[in-house]
A and B are shown apart, each in its own frame.
Chain A
């Protein structure tokens, strides 16, 4: 087990190292961030001073050396644009993304499971067919366009919800949260829905397949024969047994929510880490892009590790060996 953990963490460090190096050198070749930062009417001396201030006057391998030296001291560099430590910048934007992701996951489960169960229990009802057709469309619709259509309907045509931004927030333990104010909630609902629709389609499919299977099991027939109310049979006996695959897949999909948050945050101008990444790529703000990359890789490896370990605890047939899978 220990050997397994060391191996996985070693792998994670290797991936972080390789990706960070590619992006570090890649961004250097794409362009010079100073061109975007300084006043175009400034003279050459001002330009060189700006480059020296950001450490961009040195050759790329020297810059990389500084980056590595900072890294071992836990310093991921300072943003060229915001003039703040990149990691601070990302951590200050993280609550917005997490709030969005959690609400999206909650919506996906709370709406997806009942719809999927209904479709599983009454496979031939017109409503079930409509639910399944909607889930195919939800699966196929490109996330960013779906977001634009939500804005078009709710913000432009009907004017009931704001088109973007975060709105008022309330500080809870020093963390700004949107869902506690009416204005914040109205800003949160569209991006959360946009992020949730894809997951919801997935949950509907899983819940339907699970329900169709579980409904035929002997213990469900037995529960019915005992004269339990249909609400209790479906709400307790069926629901409990279909939740296992749903929870598993949602656990694995947590990482994807962060990836798709990049798209949703850009569409709705939601000030999370995804929007920060896109803005930083546009401005060639290398420290922020590299720090984002290292943080997400770390997050992903941790999620995968937890899922793998949870599997081996829940299902003894899955064995974790030091020698890999």
Chain B
């Protein structure tokens, strides 16, 4: 840390731009996010508007022209949907599911982690036992069994992802909070006789956020990958709202006859998204925690 800028945020930004790889990945992420948010304008076709697609254009290879002269950049699927457009819409569902799930998981983890650190005793014991037990099982397997019981649906996938991810945040928050609680500013706040919730959420919360941000970046990537796997296995999002994982699953049947593009391109989009998030996440972790070198 050589540059001493005014605010922690400016310092962070200064450190971040030092790595060209991370900047490239960050720009990639912004482009992906914008494409997903403005899918309706970016995509050349609305693949779920039946008036815009025709089954006559089914499984065309990339670069073909359709019946009405539409250019299928990345080919079309069996329904005659433009794969490029379907991918952008699929990306939107993948990102929506994982961001909402991680957002809620962070909130649950923050509240329970802070509570465990603050109250100690049996509250701490109970919460951390549940965390320990849960983290000893692979997230994918737990989510799979939960969805077997919940049934399909975007809301259910989000619920399952929250249930498998909150524990990571609770553990991280508790660890960080236990360190912070011993510091002078907390003692000062206590001697001012501030109510517990104000110390917890006003004073401790901002100071335990850095490690939470690091874990959250990695968990967004994990959530995207888990959602895609669940949808591929047929227990995730419904066919009416296909994420990238479901698009890949739909293309599986056609892959064996050489029509690779239906599975190939959505997978590339998924891979690029995950690599970008992981590269940015790795770099953020290195900046926020200089001790943790790879």
Q: Which of B146, B234, B256, B270 contacts A155 (CB 8 A)?
A: B256
Given A278-B233, A296-B141 in contact, is the A145-B148 Cβ separation under 8 Å? no
Of A43-51, A75-83, A89-97, A256-264, which binds chain B? A256-264
Residues of A within 8 A of B274 (CB): 140-142
Contact present for A142 and B225 (CB under 8 Å) = yes
Contact present for B146 and A22 (CB under 8 Å) = yes
Q: Report B209-252 CB contacts with A as 1/0, cut-off 8 Å.
A: 00000000000010001001100111100000000010011011
Q: Does residue A180 face the partner (Cβ distance < 8 Å to B)?
A: no
Docked complex Cα distance between A19 and B229 (Å): 21
Contact present for B148 and A260 (CB under 8 Å) = no
Q: Does residue A104 face the partner (Cβ distance < 8 Å to B)?
A: no
Q: Does residue A304 face the partner (Cβ distance < 8 Å to B)?
A: yes
Q: Does residue A64 face the partner (Cβ distance < 8 Å to B)?
A: no
Q: Does residue A163 face the partner (Cβ distance < 8 Å to B)?
A: yes
Q: Which of B136, B149, B249, B255 contacts A22 (CB 8 A)?
A: B149
Contact present for B148 and A27 (CB under 8 Å) = yes
Residues of B within 8 A of A155 (CB): 256
Q: Does residue A66 face the partner (Cβ distance < 8 Å to B)?
A: no
Contact present for B138 and A259 (CB under 8 Å) = yes
Contact present for A151 and B255 (CB under 8 Å) = yes
Given A140-B221, A256-B138, A262-B233 in contact, is the A281-B278 Cβ separation under 8 Å? no
Q: Which residue of A lies closest to B149 (CB)?
A: A26
Q: Which residue of B lies closest to A24 (CB)?
A: B149
CB distance from B253 to the nearest CB of A (A): 11
Residues of A within 8 A of B144 (CB): 262, 277, 281
Residues of B within 8 A of A71 (CB): none
Q: Report A36-65 CB contacts with B as 1/0, cut-off 8 Å.
A: 000000000000000000000000000000
Docked complex Cα distance between A142 and B268 (Å): 10
Contact present for A255 and B138 (CB under 8 Å) = yes
Q: Which residue of B lies closest to A28 (CB)?
A: B149
Q: Does residue B196 face the partner (Cβ distance < 8 Å to A)?
A: no
Docked complex Cα distance between A148 and B263 (Å): 8
Q: Which of B146, B258, B278 contacts A156 (CB 8 A)?
A: B258
Contact present for B233 and A300 (CB under 8 Å) = no
Chain A, range 124-172, C-beta contacts under 8 Å to B:
136-137, 139-145, 148-149, 151-152, 155-157, 163
Q: Does residue B145 face the partner (Cβ distance < 8 Å to A)?
A: yes
Q: Which of B138, B258, B275 contacts A137 (CB 8 A)?
A: B275
Q: Does residue B155 face the partner (Cβ distance < 8 Å to A)?
A: no
Given A26-B148, A142-B274 in contact, is the A156-B233 Cβ separation under 8 Å? no
Q: Does residue A103 face the partner (Cβ distance < 8 Å to B)?
A: no
Contact present for A289 and B148 (CB under 8 Å) = yes
Q: Does residue A15 face the partner (Cβ distance < 8 Å to B)?
A: yes
Contact present for B141 and A23 (CB under 8 Å) = no
Q: Which of A152, A260, A293 contacts B140 (CB 8 A)?
A: A260
Q: Does residue B129 face the partner (Cβ distance < 8 Å to A)?
A: yes
Contact present for B136 and A304 (CB under 8 Å) = yes
29 interchain pairs, CB-CB under 8 A: A11-B129, A11-B133, A15-B133, A22-B149, A23-B145, A27-B148, A29-B149, A30-B151, A136-B275, A136-B279, A140-B275, A142-B267, A142-B271, A143-B229, A144-B228, A144-B229, A145-B267, A148-B251, A148-B252, A157-B258, A256-B138, A259-B138, A259-B141, A263-B233, A278-B233, A296-B141, A297-B137, A300-B137, A325-B132
Given contacts A137-B275, A140-B275, A278-B233, 15 further A-B contacts (CB under 8 A): A22-B149, A26-B151, A27-B148, A30-B150, A30-B151, A136-B278, A140-B274, A140-B278, A144-B228, A148-B248, A148-B263, A149-B267, A255-B136, A282-B234, A324-B129
Q: Which 3 A-B pairs have the closest CB atoms?
A: A26-B149, A259-B138, A145-B267
A positions within 8 Å CB-CB of B: 11, 15, 19, 22-23, 25-27, 29-31, 136-137, 139-145, 148-149, 151-152, 155-157, 163, 209, 255-256, 258-260, 262-263, 266-267, 277-278, 281-282, 289, 293, 296-297, 300-301, 304, 324-325
